[in-house]
Structure formats: C-alpha cells, structure tokens
C-alpha cells in the first residue's frame, strides 16, 4: 500500500523497467514519466469519457489540488527515479465552461481531465505553486538538473 504521492514515480519506474536491459544499447538512455492529479487524497487519472471528464472538472472546480509527475532516467548501468509536486488552484467553473472545454478540447488523454496550457488553464487556473511545466506533464527544469548529475 503506497501513498497517493508515490504512485506517479512508481508508474514511471515500471514504464522504464519495461525496456529490457539486454535490448538497450550501451549509449542509450530512456526517460519515462507519469503524471497524476490528486484531490482530497484521491488520484484522478485520465477520464474514460466525456461524463467522466465533466465529473473530474466539477471535483476540481473551486479547489486546490496537487499534480505529481514521476520521472525515471534509465540506462543499462543506472536508474534514477524522482518526482515533482505542484499545487494548482482552480476558480469555480460553471457547467457551461466545463461543457465547452470537454466538447472543444476533448481532454481524454490528460490526467484530471485538463491541460493547463489549454483554454481551461487560461480561464480557470488562478494560481500555481511550483513548476508550471510539471503540471503540463514533464518537470523540465528538474529533469535537466538530474540529467546533469546522471
């Protein structure tokens, strides 16, 4: 039983381990990532359909939630996993805004049913504590720092 904050790094490590070391050339590096949205100690993954997306966005409306991205850097010789957490605060979203977003942006491939870089982020997100790029799905600054040390 693991904490909801440990799920993203666990999944990123599992993705990296799906590459057999015997098949990985000496000079190759694999970088895997997984992002989850956490609200009220519940993980919101990718929505199954439009109704699921609407339900998730209603749950996020007017609340602060966490976005955790786990990243694994994997080579034949070494593996390093880390995670970055950001807090996102949403304004209250009305049903018309949620409906417009789901119908026009089809956020079915996004954890928590939203992309901060899309319309919903422009009109709904009132603050981000931490890495904006983490909320997009890859904490580029932290990844760069880890690659320099790797």
Residues noted as catalytic: 34
Pair 76, 29: CB distance under 8 Å: no
Dihedral over alpha carbons 91, 96, 101, 102 (to 10 degrees): 120
């Amino acid at each position: 039983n693991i904490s909801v904050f440990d799920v993203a790094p666990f999944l990123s490590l599992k993705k990296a381990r799906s590459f057999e070391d015997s098949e990985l050339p000496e000079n190759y590096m694999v970088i895997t990532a997984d992002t989850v949205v956490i609200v009220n100690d519940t993980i919101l993954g990718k929505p199954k359909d439009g109704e699921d997306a609407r339900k998730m966005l209603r749950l996020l409306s007017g609340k602060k939630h966490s976005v955790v991205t786990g990243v694994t850097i994997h080579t034949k010789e070494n593996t390093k996993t880390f995670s970055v957490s950001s807090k996102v605060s949403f304004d209250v979203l009305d049903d018309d805004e949620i409906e417009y977003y789901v119908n026009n942006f089809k956020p079915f491939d996004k954890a928590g049913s939203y992309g901060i870089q899309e319309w919903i982020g422009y009109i709904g997100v009132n603050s981000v504590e931490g890495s904006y790029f983490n909320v997009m799905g890859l904490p580029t600054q932290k990844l760069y720092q880890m690659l320099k040390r790797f």
